[in-house]
Amino acid sequence: MVDAIGAAPIADQSQEGNSNPESVDADQSASNNPGLAPLFYQLQVLQEELAIIRGMLEEQTYRVDRLTREQNRRYTDIDRRFRELRGIDGSTEPHDETDIPPLPPVIDPTGTERGAYESAYALTNERRFDDAIVAFDQFIVDYPNGQWTPNAFYWLGELHHATENLEKARQSFVQVVTLYPNHAKIPDALYKLGKVYHQLGDTRRAREYLDRVIKNHPGTVADLARSYAADYL
C-alpha cells in the first residue's frame, strides 16, 4: 500500500517535466532536422510562382474588363475609316491613303488610375507603340505612386525594347527592379534586363541578371533565362 502511494508522485513529476512533448519535438525538428529544409524551399518556390501567376492573371483581367468598351470603339473607328476610304460623298472612289488621318490616342473617359492604365495598355495591344509610350509616360507623371505604376514601368521597358531603344528599355526595367523589389513583375524584368544587357554588349551584367532569375525565381521565367544563357552567353 505504501509503495502504491509513493509511486504516484513519481508519475506526476514525470508528466510535469514533459507537459507538451509534441511541441518540444516539433521545435527540435525545425531547428535540428535538415530534412525539413527542402520543404521550406519548396514553399518559397510555390509562393514566388504564385506571385508570377497573379501578375499574369492581372494582365488578363485588364484585357477582359476592356473588351466591351474597346469593341464598340473599334467598330466606330472601322466605320469611320470605311466611309473615309469611300469618300465623304458616298462615292466608291477612295481617297489617297496618305490623306487618311491616323487613329487618335485612346483617352481615358473615367479619369481614374485604372482607366488610364487600361487605355495605355490598349494602345500596346493594338501595336500603336509610339502612342503607348507617350500614354505610359504620362501615366507615371499622373500617378507616380499608383497601384499600377510598376506595371507601367515594365511595359515601357517592353515598348522601348520592341522599338529597339535599348538604353531606355534598360532604364525602365531597372526602375521596376530598384523601386519595386517585391512586385510580381520582378522575374520578368530581371530576365528582360539580362537580354537587354546582352544586346548592349555587356555579357557580364547579362549573366548576372539571368542568374538572379534562375536562382531566386524558379519557374517558367527561370527556364527562359536558362535557355537564353545557354544559347547566347
Greater confidence (76 vs 189) lies with 189
Decide if 155 contacts 124 (C-beta within 8 A): yes
| pLDDT, tens digit (0-9, with 9 covering 90-100), for 57-115 | 766 665 655 554 555 455 445 445 444 443 433 333 333 333 333 444 445 556 799 99
Res 163 pLDDT > 90: yes
Res 230 pLDDT > 90: yes
Query: What integer pLDDT is reported at residue 53 of this predicted model?
Result: 73
Closest by Cα among 80, 73, 75 to 107: 73
Ranking 49-58, 134-143, 157-166, 200-209 by mean pLDDT, the lowest is: 49-58
Query: What integer pLDDT is reported at residue 35 of this predicted model?
Result: 62
Model confidence band, residue 50 (pLDDT cutoffs 50, 70, 90) = confident
Closest by Cα among 185, 183, 160 to 171: 160
Of all residues in the chain, the percent with pLDDT exceeding 90 is 52
* C-alpha to C-alpha distance for 94 and 82, rounded to whole angstroms: 9
Res 21 pLDDT > 70: no
Greater confidence (185 vs 107) lies with 185
- Record the cell numbers describing residue 144, joined without a space: 507616380
132: Cβ contacts below 8 Å, ≥ 6 apart: 120, 121, 123, 124, 155, 159
Q: What's the fold here for domain 45-232?
A: 1.25.40
Query: What integer pLDDT is reported at residue 168 of this predicted model?
Result: 97
Res 144 pLDDT > 60: yes
Query: What integer pLDDT is reported at residue 86 of this predicted model?
Result: 39
Query: What integer pLDDT is reported at residue 46 of this predicted model?
Result: 74
Query: What integer pLDDT is reported at residue 90 of this predicted model?
Result: 38
- Record the cell numbers describing residue 163, joined without a space: 522599338
Greater confidence (132 vs 70) lies with 132
Ranking 111-115, 129-133, 221-225 by mean pLDDT, the lowest is: 111-115
Greater confidence (133 vs 16) lies with 133
Query: What integer pLDDT is reported at residue 36 of this predicted model?
Result: 67
**What value does the CA radius of gyration of the chain take, rounded to a whole number of Å?**
29
Query: What integer pLDDT is reported at residue 11 of this predicted model?
Result: 39
Model confidence band, residue 16 (pLDDT cutoffs 50, 70, 90) = very low
Mean pLDDT for the chain overall: 74
